[in-house]
Amino acid sequence: MIARKATLGAVLGVTVSTVWGQALTVDMIEQMGNNSLFTRWRPFSHFLAPSGWMNDPCGPLYDPVQGLYHLHYQFHPNHVNWGNISWGHATSPDLVTWADVDHSPGNGLAAWQDQQAESIGTTNLSSKHNPPLYNHLSIFSGSAQPVNISGHADGTLLAFYTSVSELPTAWNDPYLPGTESQSLAYSTDGGVTWQQYANNPILSDPPGNWNVTGWRDPFFLPWPQMDSLLNQSEPHYYTVFGSGIKDVGPRMPLYSAPASNLTDWTFLGALWEPVANSSLGTLIETGSYGFNFELSNFFSIDDHYFVSMGAEGGNVTFHQQKWSLWNEGTVSTRANGSIDFNPISGGASDWGILYAITSFNDTKNNRRIQYGWAWEDMNSFAITQQGFQGALSLPRELFVKETPHVVRSTTEKSLGNSQYIKSTDGSWTASTLGVRPAHDVVEGLRKASHLSRYQCKEMMCDAGQIVLPTNLSHSYEFTVNIKRTTGITGVTIAASPGREEYTNIYFDPSNNSIVFDRTHSSLIDMFLNTSYVGYFEPYQIAAKDGGKPVTEPIKMDIFVDGSLVEVFVNDRFALTSRIYPSREDSNGIALFTASGVDVEYLDMEVWDGLLNVWPNRPLNSSSLLVFDTPAKTGNYTWWAGD
């Protein structure tokens, strides 16, 4: 064990200077053709589309009939930007390795090519259907369950999604009447082919004459506790949408349907009625509800009720535009029989770029698993050269995280990240929404990797002396356990041998923050170098002998996979970001502390060379890029066309 002063930005374990680290420049990139940088920053240990554009995770589920997980995503095959959005689809036996599903087998293309992995696409039914057009412009996000329309687990997979027939749509634009409706699609062959429900859409209009900012992304689930609360005489399914009322505030409308008829949805009111652009507690700790909710979830874990939502428009200097939030609340019934959700704690589900977060009941393991979308952060530069955009996070397990013997500040007034429960002995237990990468998936990713482990009780773990591995691969996990620190402490990743570029990730106890500092992440100045900041307040734990409370240790668990970086802290904080180093040898890591800071480490681990989770795809799974004509894009009003 050692506590010693270290210098700011000391890069350790990076001694070898290689010649293959020639930097890409803006000029070089501008000369390059489509897909020429396809593998350069591409994640291989994460879920992502084979090529082209992807955004939200859709319809995650476990199918007990075939023993397979299904995961869909918002997909625009053969294009690098959003448009004509559909669902792409892959399956997995274990949430570790994935295979694209070939939805048009026998046409000579592999499952990863062009639009083979597209499961549910836009359709233009014209006069054969009433209404003739309801989903011809987009298949927006939604959820899925392994049941048929009468709620039986007969092998059918049922998707509930938002059908779109007018564009563009944005919370702060006038809402074109009829833009969004809600529809069902299903598969009776284990997900290979999907049919639209004949009487789509099943919900055509927003509830209660709301003048909506949006009305989309149905999240539905069976829910016995809710049945009891509402005294339902038969089992029901429940759904929430992301929505909002213009000039009033964001909303999460709740509906129920008898399990025996999943087309028969009844509106039960808004879960709660936040004021536009307001915050649960302080902005810095609980974020902004903004003006519109997108992808929203409502579920329980044990006896705790949670919502999560993508909140739009709550711009503040330290967090732009979109917030991924969660709230815990108590639930009760209103006089008119609807459910009243009363928030008691909340925070950001992810403090970085992860958005459109959704979750599902992994019934195989009885746990709630969450996925979110990590957009590229490329400032629209080098996108055609990369040939794809977007990935999903690692699967994250949500759980109720309780920490006993916490010493509370007596001055706290506003609601925050934790609620505090008084135990019989008078001590406080902090309770919050826990989040950690699913442990079995992490074990699967580590399987082929090389482990370097440092146990600081047995050796020197000093930022100036420990030799970490050099020249790491494209994909690694780095964990650092900090017993105590007097100031800024964390790690450096993606450092070039001469420190021309590097990224620092650190805890700053002076303002309870975790900072992802991208100031020097890339020499390519077309990429954004703004940093991400998240609120993390360590608990003060009562000393057994009644002495001064002790600050809990800080455990950082960091996954670097090409451009994609996920940071987890103490199983209750997550931050996702992107880095695009210009050099191929920018793969050094180090411990990082501000000058004059005393740090005591517990242990650290480096797992280098995480698994490629797409064994059936070639590393370069790019497809030809297509740019649409004005006729195909409503003269570029529906989407940009590239």
Ligand X SMILES: *[C@@H]1O[C@H](CO)[C@@H](O)[C@H](O)[C@H]1NC(C)=O
Binding interface with ligand X (CB under 6 A): 33-34, 84, 86, 115, 118, 121-122, 124, 126, 136, 148-150, 152, 154, 208, 211, 222, 230-231, 246-247, 261, 263-264, 267-270, 277, 301, 313-316, 320-321, 333-334, 336-338, 361, 363, 366-368, 384, 625-627, 630, 632, 635
Question: Least CB distance from residue 184 to ligand X, whole Å?
Answer: 11
Q: What's the distance, CA 573 to chain centroid?
A: 13
Which burial class, exposed, middle or buried, applies to 540 when counting CB atoms under 10 A from its CB (0-12, 13-18, 19+)? middle
Question: Least CB distance from residue 379 to ligand X, whole Å?
Answer: 12
Question: Least CB distance from residue 522 to ligand X, whole Å?
Answer: 21
Question: Least CB distance from residue 159 to ligand X, whole Å?
Answer: 15
Minimum CB distance to ligand X smaller for 301 or for 550: 301
Q: Which amino acid is at 15?
A: T
Beta-bridge mates of residue 541: 406, 550
Question: Least CB distance from residue 33 to ligand X, whole Å?
Answer: 4
Which residue do the tokens 């930022």 mark?
463
Minimum CB distance to ligand X smaller for 115 or for 587: 115
Minimum CB distance to ligand X smaller for 397 or for 566: 397
Question: Least CB distance from residue 116 to ligand X, whole Å?
Answer: 11
Minimum CB distance to ligand X smaller for 32 or for 542: 32
* Among 202, 207, 308, 216, CA closest to 264: 202
Residues near 59 by beta carbon (within 8 Å), at least 6 away in sequence: 70, 71, 72, 87, 142, 143, 144, 159, 161
Q: Pairing mode, if any, of strands 180-187 and 554-561?
A: unpaired
Minimum CB distance to ligand X smaller for 435 or for 599: 435
Kind and range of the H or E element at 476? strand 475-485
Rounded to whole angstroms, how far apart are CA atoms 454 and 461? 7
* Among 149, 151, 124, CA closest to 138: 124
Phi, psi at 543, each rounded to 5° = -75, 145
Question: Least CB distance from residue 626 to ligand X, whole Å?
Answer: 5
Beta-bridge mates of residue 578: 564
* C-beta separation of 429 from 400 below 8 A: no
Tokens representing 239 are: 């759904």
Alpha helix (H) residue ranges in 467-535: none
Minimum CB distance to ligand X smaller for 105 or for 596: 105
Is the backbone of residue 584 left (phi > 0), alpha (psi -120 to 50) or beta?
A: alpha
Peptide linkage before 206 cis (omega within 30 of 0): no
Question: Least CB distance from residue 543 to ligand X, whole Å?
Answer: 35
Minimum CB distance to ligand X smaller for 109 or for 230: 230
Question: Least CB distance from residue 216 to ligand X, whole Å?
Answer: 17
Q: How many helices (H) does the chain have, and how many strands (E)? A: 5, 39
Minimum CB distance to ligand X smaller for 222 or for 538: 222
Minimum CB distance to ligand X smaller for 92 or for 138: 138
Minimum CB distance to ligand X smaller for 45 or for 145: 145
Question: Least CB distance from residue 44 to ligand X, whole Å?
Answer: 24
* C-beta separation of 507 from 490 below 8 A: yes
Rounded to whole angstroms, how far apart are CA atoms 182 and 159? 11
Residues near 320 by beta carbon (within 8 Å), at least 6 away in sequence: none
C-alpha distances (whole Å) from 249 to each of 246, 320, 632 are 7, 18, 35
Minimum CB distance to ligand X smaller for 71 or for 610: 71
Question: Least CB distance from residue 47 to ligand X, whole Å?
Answer: 21
Question: Least CB distance from residue 555 to ligand X, whole Å?
Answer: 24
C-alpha distances (whole Å) from 62 to each of 50, 72, 161, 436 are 22, 12, 18, 20
Minimum CB distance to ligand X smaller for 304 or for 483: 304
Rounded to whole angstroms, how far apart are CA atoms 450 and 606? 8
Kind and range of the H or E element at 219? strand 212-222
Minimum CB distance to ligand X smaller for 136 or for 499: 136
Beta strand residue intervals within 246-291, DSSP E: 249-251, 253-258, 266-270
